[in-house]
A and B are shown apart, each in its own frame.
Chain A
Amino acid sequence: MNRKVVTFFILFGLWCVFSGMFDAFHLALGVISCLIITLISGDLFFNSEKITKSHIINGLRFIKYLPWLIYQIIIANIHVAYLVLHPKMPIEPFVLEYKAKLKKDISKVVFANSIILTPGTITMDITKDNVFLVHCISRKVADDLLTGEMEKRVANVFGEHIKMGKK
Chain B
Amino acid sequence: MIDFDLIIDTVVIIIVIIGLFFFFTATIGLLRFPDFYCKLQATGKGDTLGAILILFGIVIYILKEDFSFNTILVSLKIFFIIFFIFLANPTATHALTKAGLDSGVTPFKKEDLKK
- Residues of A that sit less than 8 Å from B by CB: 17-18, 20, 73-74, 76-77, 80-81, 83-85, 89, 91-95, 112-113, 116-117, 120, 122-125, 133, 135, 137
- Residues of B that sit less than 8 Å from A by CB: 21-22, 25-26, 28-29, 32-35, 37-38, 40-42, 44-46, 48-49, 70, 73, 76-77, 80, 87, 90-91, 93-94, 97-98, 100-101, 107-110, 113
CB distance from B108 to the nearest CB of A (A): 5
Complex Cα distance, B95 from A123, in Å, reads 9
Indicate if the CB atoms of A122 and B41 lie closer than 8 Å.
yes
Partner of B73, one of A20, A81, A84, A94: A20
| Chain B residues whose CB sits within 8 angstroms of the CB of A77 once the complex forms | 22, 25, 45-46, 49
Indicate if the CB atoms of A92 and B110 lie closer than 8 Å.
yes
* Given A81-B22, A93-B109, A113-B90, A122:B77 Cβ within 8 A: no
| Chain A residues whose CB sits within 8 angstroms of the CB of B48 once the complex forms | 73, 117
Indicate if the CB atoms of A116 and B22 lie closer than 8 Å.
no
CB distance from A94 to the nearest CB of B (A): 6
CB distance from A15 to the nearest CB of B (A): 12
Partner of B98, one of A76, A93, A124: A124
Indicate if the CB atoms of A91 and B46 lie closer than 8 Å.
no
Indicate if the CB atoms of B33 and A91 lie closer than 8 Å.
yes
